[in-house]
Structure 1
């Protein structure tokens, strides 16, 4: 009985050559260099190619197979014919060791300045991490750079890069590479000042003429200065006597955060499941969630009697602990581990949820929240979260265009 072919393993001590070509790009460059290297015993180990504003950088790592001088000569003639600069570096084996302990470091800002990149990459080098690849995944409305990094400790890098990010007014995320960034996820968002620009209870309070009073209480609760449940009961009491019809008025007045529709639409295309948890009220949140394709909703309910708000809530308050519990419940219903969840929020009552999720993102949050979340987004565009998940802007726009054409 014949045996299946065994995978070919390159000799880790075999001599190798790294060819790097740079210059003006044109069709046929890649074909020409690989045709030149088509010699007995020469095997391709690695290839990296990038074109920026028509300038090509192509790196090819091959085994030599006893053909070193011939391979170099043929590559040099190919480069000359293409009017490209060629550098050749000899070595041994593949570059597998630099792939150990792989991470993705994402830099997001508006703008991203050279000194910010220098500070972050300098910190990576100081901590013994190597940058294997860099690419830009968005230019508008924010600039996002994604760095493939190896050899760094994720917790150390999160802590130290957050200091550099704060000093240079950018956001930095450190995430595991590989399969951890792929596959279906559950993304759960706070509503007030995250999915929407408003605080629903303040819109309701405006109808009672008590908006400033309620806003002051909300601010203290979001900063963690007072207990959320206590603050909610105090604020809802201000709504006593309002007609139930004001809920329709508030639903019509709610403004989505810029990028919210794009975020939801793109994540749904990718097969993600969405949820919202709110310290606000399901009477307003649920219709909005249905419109955006959000499957899971948790929030507080207002008591209504004879068509009038009583100034009380029904059932247990969805507070800081309640939001984390909702995240766990949503994940269990989708048969997803917590490591496959992403939570987004801005206030102190989101902290437990952000901590429980596989990735906790503070969105335009208070300093207390930014300090404790895995990463933060400090630009007013909710779809910037896509870039932290490794989804390029160009792919989002291509999908939108394809849908529009179809």
Structure 2
């Protein structure tokens, strides 16, 4: 089925800025609360949110086989479960409805009043009911940096890292939409000289710059997904800040891995950008040496050129950009991650989320965490207000951005924002 929505020459009759993250070629999907306190599934063009439930009720999706209430739900799970054919048909139809020259909705003010909202009239919600969440560790630069900081720099990568996408199962209940404040966690930390563990608010709260992909129903328990089919089951991506409490994590993670140091909060951008919309931005990933086992071996163009940025904004002060990275640096692709996830027969369902792991590039300014940027606190970062940061302070806001750009076409994710509040007393 052709991706007519991706035509770079298309223009919309809606007023949009030239550098918007959400041109008519994007058409992401999300869930929002309207001015009438109704939760609906929608999309976005420019600074307009579009109520897909209302569009459906008004007959604009006639000819597409959709259930009556598909868009009148509080999550995208059922829509995602309908599969790629439905996603493409809906994106193509939305593109047609808002195409410059199509007067059906444009000239119907009554319908426009029902369907269209400005962004300040809505409240974004979590786009999916995340049943299961897996976090990978798939950036070679990040894994090398962490291995150098905590182990032998000469043997930074553990023997398995170059052979399998490393991951762990996270906590889905604490995944929150952009804009939700994050409370500084409390927990244990490594013992001092007296051998007694510390206890109290984390002193080393950190961000982790990640992307995450959302899946549809992929396989039955006991079956696996082949590398050639893996992308058919990836609905789209969100920008992801997988907050970390480094001091809590350092004490607890041996031998079973991340736990309370990670599960206190994970922030995602609220609009899911489809894999279809990112099709023009495919690129090759890093050379994989040694070559992966056959079940993980795929061809070229399985990575995506997505520019990433992180800023820190102290309360009532100007933001300082501290990192610029790119999703294309991922050593293990999304297709390889999903394939490996299911090779043992683990079943993947609609609305499951899989984080990339921290995305770090080859230069110091492209590292995806304060752990790396400050090199475990040894090299504090100076912000524009003159203050220093080894990690994230109370009342700091972390702002992440992501977009792809090529030949005048920009497809973005909007912001992923979280403010760290003091620990509960």
* Range class of TM-score, shorter chain: under 0.3
TM-score by length of 2: 0.23
User: Which one scores higher on RCO, CA 8 angstroms, separation ≥ 6?
Assistant: 2
Indicate the structure with greater helix content.
Answer: 1
Task: Kindly name which structure, 1 or 2, has the bigger radius of gyration based on alpha carbons.
Answer: 1
